[in-house]
Amino acid sequence: MALLAALREDIGPMNTLHAIGLSKKFINKLMSLDVGETFTWEEYGLDIRDTAITWLNDLESDERYRRWPSSFMDLLRPTYPGMLRNLRRNIYNYVIIVDPTSPASGPPLKLGETLLSPATPVR
């Protein structure tokens, strides 16, 4: 049953990609990308109709960061060298431009996922 569920989960995105005119070879290449064990199609999305950058989080308004201080004065407090201050402001940004079919895109994507997981103060 698990195999059948996995096949059903993959068929939806493949049908969508085929409907927009992508070749079977290209779809297979996309579907076989190693994007980590925690990836699901519902977690990440890209809407190219709106803005050039798709932000995965918003430090100023997301619920998971609500306990962080929002005053810029906190940037003046002493901290260890190289540490990013946990501040509820979108001042540190990680922007990447990737080709999802290129193996060279893997490391920047994995770094982005690593930054999101432990609530690093990076948008």
Residue ranges covered by each domain of the chain: 1-32, 36-123
Most confident of 9-23, 66-80, 86-100: 66-80
Answering whether pTM is above 0.75, one says no
Higher-scoring residue by pLDDT: 48, 113? 113
DSSP the chain: -HHHHHHHHHHHHHHHHHHTT--HHHHHHHHT----TT--TTT----TTS-S---S--TTT-GGGTTS---GGGGGS---TTPPP--SSS---------TTSGGGHHHHHHHHHHHTTT-S--
Q: Supply the mean pLDDT for the chain.
A: 78
pLDDT tens readout for residues 35-87: 555 555 555 555 545 567 778 888 999 998 999 999 999 989 998 988 888 89
